[in-house]
Amino acid sequence: MLNEGEPSMRGHVAHGVHPERVTKRSKEKATKQYFERTISRMLTNSTYHHRIMGRSLTNTVTLLGATLGFGCSAPRVTSVGSVQPEANQSLPTNVTEPLAQSVPSSGEEPASHPDPESPAVNLQKESPVAQRPVDQPVEPKLTPLQQAEELLAEGELEEALAAFAEILLNNPGQIEAYFGLAKTHEQLENPWAAERSWRRVVELEPDNAQALLRHANVLHQIGRTKEAERSWIRCLTLSPEDAEPLIQLSMLELERNQPDAALPYARSGVRLDPQNAEARTVYARSLLGVGQPSASIPHWNMAIEALPEDFILLAGLLEAYAQCQDHEGALATALVLSRRSPSSEVYERIGWCSFKLGDYQASQAAYKQAAELDPNCTPAWNGLGILALNRWLEQNRQNNVDRQEAISAFRNSLRSDPNQPKLTRMMLRFDLDQ
């Protein structure tokens, strides 16, 4: 221990000591320790060794290395009295690990060392390099019109309405905004507001056939049929290959109960667009209206194939079979329709077809089902009354139960529809008015 105030002698040579000897001893000591560690590692990593042989070999090599200086890199002296090892050499220690602790037994396998050429080792040796972040692609900014159309497509109708209105405030002549505004009003079920928007589009683009057609459809929806008819006729001039105006004109004539006027429009519509189910339907209805039910049946079938979920088409086919007196075809169609869309009208048709085919029990059940679904179904009450009247007449008017059933059914029929003079005369004829 040094007393306070005494200078430290570490790293310096005291007076009277030869520096050459100090340097030589330091060099020999460092070299000996270096070779001891090297031979110890060699013997530790060897599979076959001998403890005494390893120790003597260590001493021999140590002395040779110290004397001759072969096969090693001797430590260099930076100053007199101090020794600094090489960069790849650990600091010397005076403690030597016993060889017995590092020698593996004969039954153990030598420790495996990683391959210096393996990618894992090379990656560990390499210094980590910071990777530059990849720039994310910048999405193009949507225009106000695109944002409004996106809101409309997503069903945000109120927000879309406000967005289109704001666009028109800044640019009153933007036709696309009027298009979007009209479509939004249509989805909001506001045809009057939609009509104003479509009218503005037509004013800005008088030759826009699509806008003119949409405007005509809205005009018809709000009851302005004359204006709608003129617009549809003008659409035929602007777009003669479009079947939609012809279909609308044909439907308008059918609403007016003028199938003769509807037939030419419907025929032209089918000619322009044979795959259009709506055109086929209008054509079939027109043929049925002019008294050509058999000619309408193929068109009903083609329309049903295109729109199998539209049950109104099955009802049209049923009516066509009924007018053709094809009771079996009508009954088959009615049974299909009853499974898909049961109603009092369908069961009434089943009762009528069964009655025509002579199946009175099935007819009775179908008529009762129709009357239960709709107590005001006049044809069903008439059917039940006719069945009861026939049973009463077959029993020579002896069964009073059948007579009362007939009277009750006919009264219910007159209650639902008083304007039936034929039924009134029949009740008077068979004394069923009491």
24 pLDDT above the threshold of 70: no
- pLDDT for the residue numbered 111: 44
27 pLDDT above the threshold of 80: no
Q: Is residue 206 situated within a structural domain?
A: no
246-293 pLDDT tens trace? 999 999 999 999 999 999 999 999 999 999 999 999 999 999 999 999
Rounded to the nearest 10 degrees, how much is the dihedral formed by the CA atoms of 9, 15, 18, 24?
A: 0
57-66 pLDDT tens trace? 444 444 444 4
Average pLDDT, the chain: 80
Average pLDDT over residues 104-132: 46
Average pLDDT over residues 72-97: 43
Q: Which of 39, 72, 98 is the last residue of a domain?
A: 98
Q: Is residue 28 situated within a structural domain?
A: yes
* Percent of the residues in the chain that have a pLDDT greater than 90, as a whole number: 64
- C-alpha pair distances (Å), 97 with each of 36, 94, 255: 10, 10, 111
135-184 pLDDT tens trace? 666 667 889 899 999 999 999 999 999 999 999 999 998 999 999 999 99
Q: What is the rounded CA–CA span in Å between residue 25 and residue 358? A: 135
**Contact at 8 Å (CB) between 108 and 102?**
no
Specify the pTM. 0.64
| 3 state SS for the chain | CCCCCCCCCCCCCCCCCCHHHHHHHHHHHHHHHHHHHHHHHHHHHCCCCCHHHHHHHHHHHHHHHHHHCCCCCCCEEEECCEEECCCCCCCCCCCCCCHHHHCCCCCCCCCCCCCCCCHHHHHHHCCCCCCCCCCCCCCCCCCHHHHHHHHHHCCCHHHHHHHHHHHHHHCCCCHHHHHHHHHHHHHCCCHHHHHHHHHHHHHHCCCCHHHHHHHHHHHHHCCCHHHHHHHHHHHHHHCCCCCHHHHHHHHHHHHCCCHHHHHHHHHHHHHHCCCCHHHHHHHHHHHHHCCCHHHHHHHHHHHHHHCCCCHHHHHHHHHHHHHCCCHHHHHHHHHHHHHHCCCHHHHHHHHHHHHHCCCHHHHHHHHHHHHHHCCCCHHHHHHHHHHHHHHHHHCCCCCHHHHHHHHHHHHHHHHHCCCCHHHHHHHHHCCCCC
Of residues 27 and 104, the one with the higher pLDDT is 27
- pLDDT for the residue numbered 23: 61
Give 273-279 contacts, CB < 8 A, sequence gap 24+. 273/243, 275/306, 276/243, 276/247, 277/302, 277/303, 277/306, 277/307, 277/310, 278/247, 278/303, 279/243, 279/246, 279/247
Q: Strand pairing partners for 17? A: none
Average pLDDT over residues 211-230: 97
Q: Is residue 13 situated within a structural domain?
A: no
- pLDDT for the residue numbered 142: 86
Q: Is residue 291 situated within a structural domain?
A: no
Q: Which two tokens stand for residue 162?
A: 């406000």
Q: What is the rounded CA–CA span in Å between residue 419 and residue 61? A: 135
Average pLDDT over residues 93-107: 41
358 pLDDT above the threshold of 60: yes
Q: Which distant-in-sequence residues (6+ apart) come within 8 Å of 181 by Cβ? A: 161, 164, 165, 168, 197
Q: Tell me the residue range of the domain where 75 lies.
A: 19-98
- pLDDT for the residue numbered 35: 63
Q: Is residue 39 situated within a structural domain?
A: yes
Q: What is the rounded CA–CA span in Å between residue 41 and residue 62? A: 14
Q: Is residue 130 situated within a structural domain?
A: no
101 pLDDT above the threshold of 70: no
Q: Return the CATH number at 365.
A: 1.25.40.10
Total structural domains in the chain?
2
Report the range of poorest mean pLDDT among 18-22, 140-144, 302-306.
18-22
Q: Is residue 358 situated within a structural domain?
A: yes
Q: For residue 134, what pLDDT band results from cuts at 50, 70 and 90?
A: low
Q: Which of 48, 73, 98 is the last residue of a domain?
A: 98
- pLDDT for the residue numbered 140: 77
325 pLDDT above the threshold of 70: yes
Q: Is residue 287 situated within a structural domain?
A: no
**Contact at 8 Å (CB) between 292 and 262?**
no
Of residues 372 and 137, the one with the higher pLDDT is 372
Q: For residue 110, what pLDDT band results from cuts at 50, 70 and 90?
A: very low
Q: Which of 68, 98, 128 is the last residue of a domain?
A: 98
